[in-house]
Chains A and B, each alone.
Chain A
Amino acid sequence: MADEGNGIIRLRSSDGKVFELTESAAEISELLKDSPREEDDEVTEIDIVRVASPCLEKVVEFMKHYDEEKMKEIPTPLGGSTFNEVMDQPWYQDFVSDEKMNRDMLFNMLSAANFLGIKPLLDLTCLKVTFQITGKNAEEIRELLRLPELTPEEEAKAREEHSWIFEEA
């Protein structure tokens, strides 16, 4: 039987690519922690059919780093007015920076974090999304989230319903 935390877990993405990480690094994921495995197995392989390989690669990167450097819990209310003020750990700042992660990837990560039950990653990506939303009006948020555009009738109704939100009369 593999020692507690020393086993290897292989995650297979929806497109068949395999990523390895230690059991201790995988502990962070509720899903992986709870997944059943044989006692005498040194290597456990799990299919993550909902996550594609580019996203799963980043998730595994996060899990491995988290195993070495824990992410501080994000306080609410947020202790700053910018992302970098709230998240003061450089690696995590860099991990979700605009240069390294585009919007699609961010939302995929968010979805994957939720799916795998990785709370710190979920918090980190939610925080990033929060700062992307902050300061934007309803139209910009809709665009950011790629919500379908409203028809003129729908827009008129929404304006009537929410006239009190709009700054201009």
Chain B
Amino acid sequence: MAPKRRSPRNCEAKVSKRLKTDPNERKTEEKTQGCFIAEKLFGTDVVSDIFSFLDVRQLLRFVCVSKEFKSLLTYDHVLRATMLSGGFPLTSLDRIIPPIKNRSIWIPSPVRLLRMVCGKRCEECGEKTRFVCESFGVFLCNKCLEKSTKLLRRSKRWTPYLQANRVCLGPRKGSTRFSSSYLMTAPRKDINGDPIGPLVTLQDIERMSAMTKECESTATPAKKVAALIHTCDEQQPQAEAAVQSIVKAINDNRQDAVDRRVAVQEEKEEARDRYGEARRIKSDELMVELIKLLEEPDEPQIIAQINARQWNGRQNQYTFNEDSIVRKLVVPVLRAPSKYASKKKLQQVADELRLATGERRLMERYMQQIIDYCDHPEADHRVLRRTYRTYGLCFGFSNPAIRDILKEPLSKPRDLTDDDVQELAVQVKYIVCRKEPGEEVVEKLKERLKDLSCADDLGARSWNTWNWSWMFKEGYIQDILYEPISKPHDISDAKLDSLEGQLRPVMEKKKLIKNRMELLLEPIAEPYPTWKTRLERWTWNAKTNTCTFWNSVGKKALSNKLQNVEQLSDSEVNKMSNLLIAEIQEREASGFRF
């Protein structure tokens, strides 16, 4: 039986309206080389299918290729792609949705919405920027935003307008920690002339406010704003439907977006674990090779340290508990095993390990020689306190004087001879044994200056075990004596005379100042004995010749007035006492009690 031939009648309905239906026209076109492939896609479900497969940034590139593609883009395409992609586009979307839902901005078209979530450059100046400005629904950089917005201080005049519904107020920058009372200064339009950004701008508010003044209009600000917004709404009749489809698209895709994020996270973790395991296996293989290279001649300590490495599953890498040369030189190999996979590179690492370990042993030996030479009970633990620094593969010393002597030579121990070490030991011993000679010098000075009451200030000193030197409580003595006393062996009688010559005038001056300060505090003694005790604590800065009270009352009453105190007359001192008393009275009147 002959088959019946039928033409599918509903074919035409399935074909895009944009497809050329005239057979002659079609034939001519098909003959043409490079026929317009894209036409086969327009107006069909095909484009929608492709949109749904594309990543959000790729979607933007694809859509911008042709006007037809743009016309086929829907909010659902944009929101789904954005919500599934995450990252900056999603952050931008989260920022743009609130003003859209609130309808305080002109509702963007799907293409503009896509542009805003994917944008990389400012709409105004083209400078690179990251996020859409959440308050105004525009993609501006901070500079342009500053130019386009103005802070409107709340006042009787402006507040009624600012409080009106759907007035777009916001922070100037992309963060809510900035003041949120900025307004867009003027209405904006995109390149096609369509309005964008906030519905109500500063210009509108100023115009409405001026109208009220001039025309004595009875309409309230809220009504005026409502009228303006009503006009805007009339210009975009599809806005409500657009907002609804945006909200629907968000709700429809929310679960998928969450699932996607979870899946991506799981995928990342799996990939990380796979990568970690591969790295672990490779690292282990390399360590076996490295240990082989270190076996001849045998380096048991290094090998033991390499074997003591521990796998950290959270960080997916090997770690060492001790900060050592092995850690310093082997960790890079463990972190990037492929980089060290060649035998040559591994040999280099083994050589560096041997060299650094050998140098460290040499350093330790020399240090022991120096410690033995010093023959001081506290030399090793106090003065020569040190740590081995893997950063520079050398010793770091806590004492600055010792650091100056030993750091440089010990960082190249192979260059040192026994004579060099002996010379270093002599220098170190000079530092180590400077406590007692220094004390003798101070005592001698004290004896020479005993005619001055301030000589007792020399006794106010302590031995600093960190610097391994004498420290004086009084700043003026510290300034004069600290340097010479750190080299007490060099102080001859002549030097002692010179130091006495420096100290005597200063101490005499201090004596005068002390007298004046006692005079200053005398009137306080009887009515306010506790305050006097507090105010007796003051310090003298010899360089600026200024006295400063420790107590806040003294500081407040006589700030900047206690300069050149030794030159103050009795009446001036009396005035100052009165100032102090007034301040004390004020403080007590405010309820202050000790």
Contacts and interface: CB of A to CB of B under 8 A. Distances in A.
A130 B121 contact: no
Given A107-B37, A123-B49, A130-B54, A31 B61 contact: no
10 contacts: A50-B11, A77-B256, A110-B40, A126-B53, A129-B50, A135-B58, A137-B61, A145-B41, A162-B115, A164-B122
B45 interface: yes
Interface stretch (B2-10, B306-314, B393-401): B2-10
Interface string B119-145: 111110011000000000001000000
- Interface size range of chain A in the complex: 35 or more
Given A141-B62, A165-B64, A133 B54 contact: yes
For B8, B40, B139, B256, which residue has the most chain A Cβ atoms within 10 angstroms?
A: B8
A169 interface: yes
Given A127-B53, A164-B119, A35 B8 contact: yes
Interface string A21-56: 000000000010011111001111111111000000
Given A114-B45, A126-B46, A31 B62 contact: no
B53 A147 contact: no
A110 B41 contact: yes
Given A31-B10, A78-B53, A122-B46, A41 B4 contact: yes
A36 B5 CA distance: 11
Contacts of B14: 31, 114-115, 117
A85 B223 CA distance: 59
Contacts of B66: 142, 145, 147
Given A130-B54, A164-B115, A114 B7 contact: no
Contacts of B115: 162, 164-165
B84 interface: yes
Contacts of A126: 46, 49-50, 53
B265 to A, nearest CB: 14
B589 interface: no
Given A136-B61, A138-B61, A45 B53 contact: no
A12 to B, nearest CB: 7
A47 B7 contact: yes
A107 B6 CA distance: 26
Given A35-B6, A146-B36, A163-B121, 5 more contacts: A76-B52, A114-B44, A133-B62, A137-B61, A147-B65
B224 to A, nearest CB: 35
Interface in B189-206: 191-192
B4 A44 contact: yes
Contact of B121 (A103, A122, A164): A164
A110 B54 contact: no
For A43, A78, A117, A162, which residue has the most chain B Cβ atoms within 10 angstroms?
A: A162
B46 A114 contact: yes
B60 A165 contact: yes
Contacts of B49: 122-123, 126
A110 B34 contact: no
B519 interface: no
Contact of A167 (B1, B44, B120, B256): B120
A41 B3 contact: yes
Interface in A125-169: 126-127, 129-130, 133-138, 141-142, 144-148, 158, 160-167, 169
A108 B6 CA distance: 22
A42 B4 CA distance: 10
B3 A147 contact: no
A50 B60 CA distance: 32
B262 interface: no
Nearest to A144: B37
B512 to A, nearest CB: 72
Contacts of A46: 5-8
B299 to A, nearest CB: 46
Contacts of A162: 64, 115
Given A107-B40, A141-B65, A45 B3 contact: yes
A134 B58 contact: yes
Given A137-B61, A164-B119, A169-B121, A47 B126 contact: no
B241 interface: no
Contacts of B127: 169
A86 to B, nearest CB: 9
B372 to A, nearest CB: 67
B288 interface: no
Nearest to A167: B120
Interface in A53-112: 74, 76-78, 103-104, 107-108, 110-111
Contacts of B282: none
A37 B5 CA distance: 10
Given A141-B65, A163-B126, A38 B40 contact: no
